[in-house]
Amino acid sequence: MINFLLRRLFLLGTVLFGLSLLAFSLGYLFPGDPLQNFSGIRQLEPQLRAELTAAYRLDHSYLSQYLAFLNRLWHGDWGLSLASQQPLLSEIRQVLPATIELTSYALLVSFLFGVPLGILAAIKPEGYLGKIINTITVAGYSLPVFWWALLLIMVFSVGLGWFPSGGRLGVLYEIPTVSGFMLVDIFLAETPYQQAIFLDALRHLALPTVVLATFPTTVMIRFVRDAMLEVWEQNYIKTAKAKGLSRLQVLYRHGLRNALLPVIRQIGLQFSALITLAMLTEVIFSWPGIGRWLLDSIYQRNFPAIQAGLMIISVLVITVNMLTEILHTFFNPLARKR
Amino acid sequence: MIKYCLSAAMLALGLAGCSAEQQDLRADGLVYCAEGAPEHFNPQRVTSGTTIDIISQQLYDRLLDIDAASGELRPALAKGWQSSADGLVYEFDLRHDVQWHQTDYFQPSRVLNAEDVVFTFNRIMDPEHPFHFIGGGIYPYFQSVDWASLVKQVSAPEPYRVRFELSRPDSSFLSNLATDFAAILSAEYAAQLLAANAPQLLDSQPIGSGPFIFREYQKDVLVRFYQHPHYWRGPAAMQQLVFDIVPNNARRMAKLLTHECDVIAYPRLAELALVTERPDVKVQESTSMNVGFWAFNTQRPPFNQVKVRQALALAINQRAILQAVYFNQATAARSVLPPTSWAFNQQLATPEYNPQAAKALLAEAGLASGFNMTIWAMPVQRLYNPNALKMAELIQADLAQIGVNATIVSYEWNTFRRKLTEGEHDSVLIGWAADNADPDNFFRPLLSCAALESGSNRAQWCDPVFDRILNQALLTDDQLQRRSFYLAAQQYLQTEMPLVALAHSQRIQAINSQIEGVTINPYGGIALFSARRVQP
């Protein structure tokens, strides 16, 4: 296991190295002045320019510049946003929790609905229930997320007025940011309206979570269903059945555990698709997350922000991937030997 | 309790509120959905209408106000005023009961007095002033009216008396003091910031004397104000005022329909018919002094030739533009000045659509075979131009008729304005909304040589003859005489054609039917002081 962990960590290191190299070269590859791309300072007075050139070692070799770049990253100096002239790291700290919050609820929903539905579909694959679930899955899988989101907004918020059309919380509720996670912050806030605000936050969460969960849920259903069907054919299941265990017991003790193992891995693989979908969802629902922030930055030609945003999102995706892989291996001794 | 509510919410997916408390907080607050984010919180440094709408009438007061109905000046912070016979000295008596905002970052020790007024205007005029260069030393409105050369000195002879000494008589002086840009700032707060070595906070953590107090700004998300309990006109009806920043038009409309917004700025004209059918939404229309125009960069060939400019003006179909872009919610423009102004020239010819004549003029200018040009279309929706991109496409098609090949250019708004100021465009579709009732406000900030320097002259046009007419018009207080100068100015513009005036638009707000008391000044921003919620 230790050996495996070390190998993974080495791989992580290599990927991060490549990523930082790419991020660094973006400073030169983006149009405009590299010094401005790195620092994000809009008004570069001659004196400041000289100081920064020295600090960033821009008059030295690329290697030396890259090391200085790494050093800055490490010390949290990620430069300023060209648009707002605020430190990028603090901006990211504000928007990233919103994305993580939305994504994890969507993952949770996809897990809570995907797994049972997948099992249901697997019990009698040719039965009515199996076919219905299958049809819904194919439909959900092929739904373009922006169209689906707009449809839900049209029906449930503009038409029926049940849910707000966007945002994280009714704007009249003032909740101080502590953790950046809305539900946690509401819990921490001292306000007589806590309960009403909590409900309001849930109402804001409903539609984006449904939209974002649609794709992973359908993937999860199909995956669990296929895994279950495969496991169902295994000899140990037949043995268990022959021993006289009831259908439910076989399903739970022997089927589910083995079928769910690859699902853990699936979460990691789904994560990058999920982040991409989250960006679209955030834009449509005005969710103040990193996806919307990054798209705004692209529109504003805010190169330092694009650089930092890409880096953060890639690191996030890679880390989650790696973690689920490690978790998968931890639960599955067979995989360690591979 | 939360647990109960949570499970209830899960069950009903949060359809209905668990308690009535939610209603209370909403009843005391107003949400205004704005079309853009404020640049900062100091009206002195702003020209964008979006920023003015959000900050000016809400956070600040001015010495004088403009009466929305009559366009006349009326007392505000100044109880009264006197001017000397030669028109060179103005004195204002200030109110004694104007309280500054009290926040966690500033506790005022005194009421507003003459020191504050002196501080406010010296910041603009005096390059030695410690705050002058904070934010770049650019005061677009004041520079466009040539304030620095007009006002010699501002002083406080008595604690509640302010004295302005002018270098020449200027009949638009008082109107300038009543614009949304002439907000009075706190000298005491500025001194505190200077002592703390953080002067730049003056424009981002504002202190004013207006009906609302600044609470927070989440960049590009929202601006939050609370009621100023000791406002000298009495406290505002609403406890809380939130500006929700929603740049997307369709989304703003959707938020009005879902009651997430109480008031929305600039509803899309195409959707108005749809909205008026609903009982929960009303549409408020008000005249506004503005003009949408197409300005040529007169410093670039071939637009430095009058004939080319006249030809292009003849080539475009103004009526089609009014219909397709303004949905006929606007008046066809004959001059930059709207017809409701007292100085409007009735003798001006109505603009003509005549591609043949345009071709002939181009041929005279030696450009019979046409040329290539760019049309810059502003990326945001404004009252004076609700859809510049569409307008650009129409003009592009019109120009193709006379052999001119136009390309449409657009950038993100801040970049767009910066590049315009640097004069990188051939022509641009943009416009102007007046800040006060004085006709000078339509000419000087748009087309004078001073405006060229301050960057608001989109035509990059500096004509000494025209400047002389404008200056002469200011030297007299006699309205008949002034009018004759402005008539001449409009005539001159029609022959020189540095820009083609296209339309004067109505200002329209869509409002939740429960809300009353939203007032719009035809010369400036929206005022939400007396907005309140009434149960229908």
Specify whether the CB–CB gap between B508 and B276 falls below 8 A. no
The domains found in chain A, sorted by start residue, are 2-74 (no CATH), 88-143+212-337 (1.10.3720.10)
Phi and psi angles of residue B310, each rounded to the nearest 5 degrees, phi first: -65, -40
The angle subtended at Cα B439 by Cα B433 and Cα B445, nearest 5°, is: 55
Alpha-carbon distance A286 to nearest alpha carbon in chain B (angstroms) = 8
**How large is the average pLDDT for residues A13-18?**
88
The token duo for A194 is: 């806590």
- Chains A, B: CB contacts within 8 A come to 91
Q: Which of B15, B220, B254 comes nearest A153 by C-beta? A: B254
Residue B148, token pair as written in the block: 């620095």
Distance from CA of B2 to the nearest CA of A (A): 6
Nearest to A316 by CA among A146, A92, A29, A144: A92
The per-residue pLDDT for range B197-207, each reduced to its tens digit, is 988 898 889 99
The confidence score (pLDDT) of residue A337 equals: 60
Which residue among B5, B219, B415 sits closest to A195, beta carbon to beta carbon? B5
What is the token pair recorded at A298?
Answer: 């692209």
- Those residues whose C-beta lies under 8 Å from the C-beta of residue A247, and which sit 6 or more positions away, are none
Task: Output the six-digit token pair for B374.
Answer: 């760019």
Query: Is residue B217, in this structure, part of any structural domain at all?
Result: no
Q: In the structure encoding, which two tokens stand for residue B220, read together? A: 């590009």
C-alpha distance from B90 to closest chain A C-alpha (Å)? 40
Query: Does the pLDDT at position B513 exceed 90?
Result: no
Mind listing the pLDDT tens digit for each residue in B467-485? 999 999 988 878 888 899 9
Chain B residues with beta carbon closer than 8 angstroms to that of A195: 1-2, 5, 18-19, 21
Find out whether the peptide bond into B302 is cis, omega within 30 degrees of 0: yes
- Inter-residue contact A133 to A120 (CB < 8 Å): yes
Q: What is the DSSP string of A238-252?
A: HHHHHTT--HHHIII
Shortest Cα–Cα distance, A113 to chain B (Å): 14
The rounded distance, in Å, linking the Cα atoms of B44 and B181 is 5
Range of the domain at B365: 290-506
Q: What digits encode the pLDDT tens for the residues B128-172?
A: 899 888 888 888 888 877 788 889 999 999 999 999 999 988 888
User: Considering only CB atoms, which chain A residues are within 8 Å of B19?
Assistant: 195-196
Residue A275 has pLDDT above 50, yes or no: yes
Mean pLDDT over all residues of chain A? 84
Judge: B14–A167 Cβ closer than 8 Å, yes or no: no
**Band of pLDDT at residue B310, cut at 50, 70 and 90:** very high
Residues of B in contact with A80 (CB under 8 A): none
Q: What does chain A come to in residues? A: 338
Output the pLDDT for position B5.
Answer: 41
Position with higher pLDDT, A161 vs A152? A152
pLDDT band at B425 (very low <50, low <70, confident <90, very high): very high
Q: Do A164 and B260 touch (CB under 8 A)?
A: yes
Determine contact, residues A254/A240, Cβ cutoff 8 Å: yes
Query: At B20, is the pLDDT very low, low, confident or very high (cuts 50, 70, 90)?
Result: very low
Give me the pLDDT at residue A185, please. 84
Q: How would residue B23 be classed by pLDDT, with cut points 50, 70 and 90? A: low
SS3 A86: coil
Degrees to nearest 5, angle at CA B135 with B129 and B140: 90
Contacts of A300 in chain B (CB under 8 A): 412, 414-415
Q: Could you tell me if residue B132 is inside a domain?
A: no
Give pLDDT, residue B15.
41
B6 in A contact zone (CB under 8 Å)? yes
Q: What is the mean pLDDT of residues A187-205?
A: 84
Average pLDDT value over all residues in chain B:
86
Tell me: pLDDT of A73 over 90. Answer: no
Domains identified in chain B, total number: 1
Q: If you ran DSSP here, which 8-state letter would residue B330 be given?
A: E
Supply the pLDDT for residue B536: 57
- Cβ neighbours of residue B468 under 8 Å, at least 6 residues apart? none
Asked whether residue B72 is assigned to any structural domain, the reply reads no
What would the two tokens of residue A65 be? 């510049």
**Token representation of residue B383:** 């009252």
* pLDDT (average), residues B57-84: 87
Structure tokens of A297?
């930055």
Cβ neighbors of B133 (< 8 A, separation 6 or more) are B127
CB contact B224 to A (< 8 Å): yes
Rounded distance, CA A282 to CA A288, Å? 7
Q: Which of A173, A174, A206 sits opposite B14 (nearest CB)?
A: A206
End-to-end CA distance of chain B: 33
Cβ contact, residue pair B1, A195, below 8 Å: yes
pLDDT at A335: 64
**Do the beta carbons of residue B213 and residue B188 sit within 8 Å?**
no
**Considering CB atoms only, which of B5, B222, B259 is closest to A199?**
B5
At residue B59, the pLDDT reads: 93
Interface residue A136 vs chain B (CB under 8 A):
no
Element (H or E) spanning B296, and its range? strand B290-296
Q: Cα separation of A183 and A203, whole Å?
A: 12
Chain A residue at shortest CA distance from B257: A158
Mean pLDDT of A180-207: 85
Whether B123 maps to a domain, the answer reads no
Nearest to A157 among B21, B25, B258 (CB): B258
Nearest-CA neighbor of B108 among B192, B17, B177? B192
Q: B464 in a domain, yes or no?
A: yes
Binning pLDDT at 50, 70 and 90, where does residue B3 land? very low
Return the CATH number at B371: 3.10.105.10
CB contact set of B380 (below 8 Å; sequence gap of 6+): B35, B36, B247, B413
Q: Which single residue is written with the structure tokens 């992580």? A: A12
Assigned domain for B30 exists: no
Residue-level pLDDT at A69: 83
Burial class (CB in 10 A: 0-12, 13-18, 19+), B4: exposed
Would you state the pLDDT for residue A336? 63
B30 — alpha (psi -120 to 50), left (phi > 0) or beta?
beta
* Residue B98: predicted pLDDT: 92
- pLDDT > 60? residue B440: yes
Residue B256 covered by a domain: no
* Ramachandran sector of residue A301 (left: φ over 0; alpha: ψ -120 to 50; beta: rest): left
Cβ contacts (< 8 Å) between B31 and chain A: which residues?
171-172
Per-residue model confidence as pLDDT tens digits over A85-141: 788 888 888 889 989 899 989 988 988 888 888 888 887 778 888 888 888 888 888
Q: How confident is the model over B49-61, as a mean pLDDT? A: 89
- The single-letter code of the amino acid at B283 is V
Confidence tier at B22 by pLDDT (50, 70, 90):
very low
- Where residue B321 falls among pLDDT bands split at 50, 70, 90? very high
Hey, is the C-beta of A297 within 8 angstroms of any chain B C-beta? no
Give the range among A22-36, B27-41, B225-239, B284-298 with minimum mean pLDDT: A22-36
pLDDT for the residue numbered B14: 39
For residues B214 and B102, is the Cβ–Cβ distance under 8 A?
no
Cα–Cα distance measured from residue A295 to residue A309, given in angstroms and rounded to the nearest whole number = 10
3-state secondary structure B253-293: HHHHHCCCCCEEECCCHHHHHHHHCCCCEEEEEECCCEEEE
Report residue A16 as tokens: 């991060």
Q: Specify which of A63-72, A152-161, A166-175, B108-117 reaches the highest per-range mean pLDDT.
A: B108-117
Q: Is B24 a residue whose pLDDT tops 70?
A: no
Answer yes or no: is B520 within a domain.
no
* Percentage of chain B exceeding pLDDT 90: 43
